[in-house]
Amino acid sequence: SAVISQKPSRDICQRGTSLTIQCQVDSQVTMMFWYRQQPGQSLTLIATANQGSEATYESGFVIDKFPISRPNLTFSTLTVSNMSPEDSSIYLCSVGSGNEQFFGPGTRLTVL
């Protein structure tokens, strides 16, 4: 499976600020996804990052809050905008390979 890296691995941010998370894959992939895992919870899909077009957001997530870029088939970014303590979560990117999805190491975000 592809090797997936994320930056930063963790960050502590002040409310009202924004953080951009990067996801890099070592091979070209068609499908990339962004998930959120709140403390003690399971994974919730935020959006599908589409190369060359706008991301497809799941119910409850909007582009103004979570803008996503996908400039090519190996890279994507997720921005968490105007953060509040409720945004404290682990953010994970994943890639589709065949019928399966594989996850990056995640970004642990704490908002004070």
Partner 1 sequence: QKEVEQNSGPLSVPEGAIASLNCTYSDRGSQSFFWYRQYSGKSPELIMSIYSNGDKEDGRFTAQLNKASQYVSLLIRDSQPSDSATYLCAVSLNNAGNMLTFGGGTRLMVKP
Nearest to 23 by CA among 3, 53, 43: 3
Which residue from 48, 50, 51, 81 is in contact with partner 1, where contact means CB under 8 A? 48
Q: How far is the CB of 16 from partner 1 (least distance, A)?
A: 28
d(CA 15, CA 83): 5
Closer residue to partner 1 in complex, CB, 14/42: 42
**Interatomic CA distance for residues 112 and 70, integer angstroms:** 29
With CB under 8 A as the contact rule, the residue among 45, 67, 73, 79 that binds partner 1 is 45
Minimum gap (Å) between residue 104 Cβ and partner 1: 6
CA distances from 12 to 9, 41, 63, 80, 109 (A): 11, 20, 22, 13, 6
| 92 interacts with partner 1 by CB under 8 A | yes
Site residues for partner 1 per CB under 8 A: 1, 31, 33, 41-45, 48, 90, 92, 96-106
